[in-house]
Amino acid sequence: MFPKFSLFKIKQVSVLKFILLINIINVVLYGFPLYEYVLSHLEILSWGGVLTFVSTLIILFTLTSFVLFLIALVSLNALKGFCILMVLTNSIALYFVLTYNVILDRTMMGNVFNTDFAEATSYYNPKIFFYFVLLGVLPAYAISKMRIQESNRLRLIAQSAGIVAVAVFLMYLNSSTWLWIDKNAKSLGALAMPWSYTANAVRYQVQEFKKNRKHTLLADAKFMNEKSAIVVLVIGESARAANFSLYDYRRNTNPNLSRLDIVALKGATSSATYTTAAINSILSPDGSTSGEEEPLSSYLQRQGVNVIWRSNNWGDPSMQVQTYQKARDLQEACVGDGCRFDEVLLVGLDKIIKDSANGKTLIVLHTAGSHGPLYNKKYPEAFEVFKPVCTTVDLQKCTEQELINAYDNTILYTDYFLSKVIEILKNHQQIPSLMLYVSDHGESLGEYGFYLHGAPYAIAPDFQKDIPFIFWTSPSFVKEHALDKNEYSATYSQKNIFHTVMGAFDMEGEIYNPSLDIFHKAP
**Confidence at residue 120, expressed as pLDDT on a 0 to 100 scale:** 57
3-state secondary structure 433-472: EEEEEEECCCCEECHHHCEECCCCCCCCCHHHCECCEEEE
What does the pLDDT look like over 78-87, one tens digit per residue?
Answer: 999 999 999 9
pLDDT in tens, 230-262: 999 999 999 999 999 999 999 999 999 999 999
Helices (H) and strands (E) in the chain, counts: 19, 11
417-449 pLDDT tens trace: 999 999 999 999 889 999 999 999 999 999 988
Provide the β-strand partners of residue 473.
434
**Region at 439 (left for phi over 0; alpha for psi -120 to 50; beta for the rest):** beta
Q: Is the peptide bond before 33 cis (omega within 30 degrees of 0)?
A: no
What is the average per-residue pLDDT within 81-96? Answer: 90
Question: What is the pLDDT, as a whole number, of residue 107?
Answer: 66
Q: What is the pLDDT of residue 178?
A: 60
pLDDT in tens, 463-507: 999 999 999 999 999 998 888 776 787 889 999 999 999 999 999
pLDDT given at position 118: 61
pLDDT of residue 117: 55
pLDDT in tens, 112-168: 666 665 665 566 677 888 889 999 999 999 898 888 888 777 877 887 788 778 777
Q: State residue 172's pLDDT score.
A: 64
The string of pLDDT tens digits covering residues 153-196 is 787 788 778 877 877 776 666 665 665 666 666 777 777 888 77
The pLDDT value given to residue 468: 98
Q: What are the sequence ranges of the domains in the chain?
A: 7-211, 231-462+479-516
pLDDT at position 33, please? 84
- The pLDDT value given to residue 478: 92
> By percentage, how much of the chain surpasses pLDDT 90?
48
Instruction: Compute the mean pLDDT over every residue in the chain, rounded to the nearest whole number.
Output: 86
CA 352 vs CA 195, 422, 512: distances in Å: 49, 14, 27
Q: Hey, what CATH class is 231-462+479-516 in?
A: alpha beta
Phi, psi of 51 (to 5 degrees): -60, -40
CA atoms within 13 A on the CB side of 456: 15
Query: Residue 105: pLDDT above 80?
Result: no
- pLDDT reading at 279 higher than 70: yes
Rounded to whole angstroms, how far apart are CA atoms 292 and 215?
Answer: 5
| For residue 337, pLDDT beyond 90 | no
* Residues sharing a CB contact under 8 Å with residue 301, sequence separation 6 or more, in sequence order: 307, 319, 320, 321, 322
Q: Residue 33 in contact with residue 91, Cβ under 8 Å? A: no
**Quick one: pLDDT at residue 1?**
41
